[in-house]
Structure 1
């Protein structure tokens, strides 16, 4: 879940509040090492969307079963999001971050050399731990690196890695898997994580542990109605998105009849549109979060439905895949902002619930989408995407104005 973190806890009381007039070279390198880590982790997370078909063929499983590599990452990540602050509470944060990059390296190597599907799942589960724990720490670490008053600027750089990975991973994964095989594509993400770990070792200062959020603080928020509605919006929209997007390559192959190269271009267009949507979503969320949520969900519903109806036409597939990407780019800004409105006094705990909600949605979406694609064909998951996105529109309209 990757590009959701920019909306996590910005309550950095107790952190270094002084903002330097300008960042030193050391500070820049430290922040860039965090951006490199986000790029490496999210690239590995999004990679299966571009190489699902050859992966399934090589391991002798169906495409629906192969899609559960996403489930393994997300389901383990959901637990890690809740427990990470508790389990690593007294460890130096630099040590933790370097260790998470090392875990990502080992997990990606295991996935690349796996000869059995369960080994692939094990590797992806390790990636899920690294992903969720990194995002749970990212805001507080960035605030300590640049000062509380510059946290937003620092996180903008860190999440740039997410945007770049959104563009590059699915399309490049499809191309590399076609040229050199899916295992090479997996191995390359281990190399990216190794570069990120080296940058962390060289540039991050010592970051002694500070007080974290307890599980009690997190679970207490579940009794708040606005928080419940915010989590439900995430579960509906993101379950729908991942039910369809994980299996978009089979759809483009079987319905639109595209070649691997053309699929890579579609996925590239999806990623570029997602970056634009991220910018638009931020502006809309600041202006009117309720309308922003309606627009995000409505665009995704429209795009998925149009692909189901007219997706056999290449031009239509390109256009509405880009529209879907635009809506997906808005979602990681709009959905967390919507949830945080229910807990302005407990943003860190709300951030944990947000990460968990995203990971559960990814898990459910991949599982249900896999079952549907195996039993009802490649258009089935996209129908579910449209239905759940439309349900999110209704939920948003029922939310109180404000």
Structure 2
């Protein structure tokens, strides 16, 4: 594999870490900035909405630029945003910094996937894209727990300084290793936008959104649930996040095989399992061992959906690969914002942290219903 793929994977690691690490640091940020946990949760929603809004806008604004230049500009925005996070001493400024950071996210993954595929022979493109997204998986396995531990030891701002440094290294690696000149297919925005007039595509994007909402309704508030309900120490939260990261990685591998086996059946069943294990955490969270087992299985079955969701969207949006790839990242992040908001509403309403997993289960059940409708509709069109 070309070293340029490793540069893309390192960039994906940095972006994934800055998105997810705030969850482990949520109690620290809330305490330091004198805001409630639900209000601090909006830092996740703000980032997600920044991705959702910024992804298609950045894709359009950079459509005429060479892809290497675009990726370098996006990484510069990422670095600036993280430095701003590290300098934040008010909730409002931190929110602004998170939104600025988010602007690069969707377009980087969308365009980066196209670049990764074009770096290798046609029969190795799927592996190349998978290698790039391995950086995002490793962000959950290593970046989040290590970033959480660093933030707890030296203050949450130190984590953003560390991510900024990784961003600078990534920028240099992209500059040195991505090819300066490579034949690129011209992007016809009118053709791609016209290809979006597909009911199946928007149903698929809605499934992606509900998956992400179900996952992040629980993931956003995992740190306060572990400390306040399970009784795990802040140091123990880092180890639990590492365990969740391992579960996400295993699920990602299994999910790819399941998607190749039978896409519709696999995705529908995965939503059933997410519903069950999200809801189950409301009861198992009171004991350390049962909580850890439930979270590992939950993470595994949740991330098993990701390859299937990617394939499902690409099938319906095959005539608009650049824009659809970016919109799917946006759909993930609309779901992130929705999930964080739902969890925050549950907590703020007085129902308590233990009710959050039930809300996550309800969102997953809606995803199951939409899956059933979507794939039954597709079957009828084939008949």
In 1, distance between residues paired with 2:191 and 2:115? Answer: 23
Match of 2:310 in 1: 336
Match of 1:167 in 2: 141
Match of 1:395 in 2: 370
Q: Which runs of 5+ in 1 are unaligned?
A: 1-22
- Secondary structure of 2:316's aligned partner: coil
In 2, distance between residues paired with 1:44 and 1:228? Answer: 28
Instruction: Identify the range of structure 1 (210-219 vs 133-142) with the bigger mean alpha-carbon deviation.
Output: 210-219
Match of 1:262 in 2: 236
Deviation of the 1:229 alpha carbon: 2.3
Match of 2:358 in 1: 383
In 1, distance between residues paired with 2:220 and 2:98? Answer: 15
TM-score (norm 1): 0.88
TM-score (norm 2): 0.92
Contact 2:13 2:138 survives alignment (8 Å)? yes
Distance 1:225 1:95, change over 3 A: closer
1:97-154 deviation per Cα after TM superposition (whole angstroms, max 9, x unaligned): 1222221111111111101111111111122111112012112212332244432222
Contact 1:85 1:213 survives alignment (8 Å)? no
Match of 1:272 in 2: 246
Deviation of the 1:220 alpha carbon: 4.5
The CA RMSD over aligned residues, in Å, is: 1.9
Instruction: Identify the range of structure 1 (367-376 vs 38-47) with the bigger mean alpha-carbon deviation.
Output: 367-376
In 1, distance between residues paired with 2:341 and 2:368? Answer: 23
Instruction: Identify the range of structure 1 (61-70 vs 226-235) with the bigger mean alpha-carbon deviation.
Output: 226-235
1:287-335 deviation per Cα after TM superposition (whole angstroms, max 9, x unaligned): 1111211222122112111110221011111011111110222122121
- Secondary structure of 2:353's aligned partner: coil
Distance 1:215 1:170, change over 3 A: farther
Question: Does residue 39 of structure 2 align to residue 55 of structure 1?
Answer: no
- Aligned partner of 2:118 among 144, 152, 163: 144
Question: Does residue 286 of structure 2 align to residue 312 of structure 1?
Answer: yes
Instruction: Identify the range of structure 1 (274-283 vs 253-262) with the bigger mean alpha-carbon deviation.
Output: 253-262
Match of 1:109 in 2: 83
Contact 2:71 2:112 survives alignment (8 Å)? no
Match of 1:37 in 2: 11
Question: Does residue 55 of structure 2 align to residue 70 of structure 1?
Answer: no
Match of 1:211 in 2: 186
In 2, distance between residues paired with 1:229 and 1:164? Answer: 29
Question: Does residue 163 of structure 2 align to residue 189 of structure 1?
Answer: yes
Instruction: Identify the range of structure 1 (119-128 vs 368-377) with the bigger mean alpha-carbon deviation.
Output: 368-377
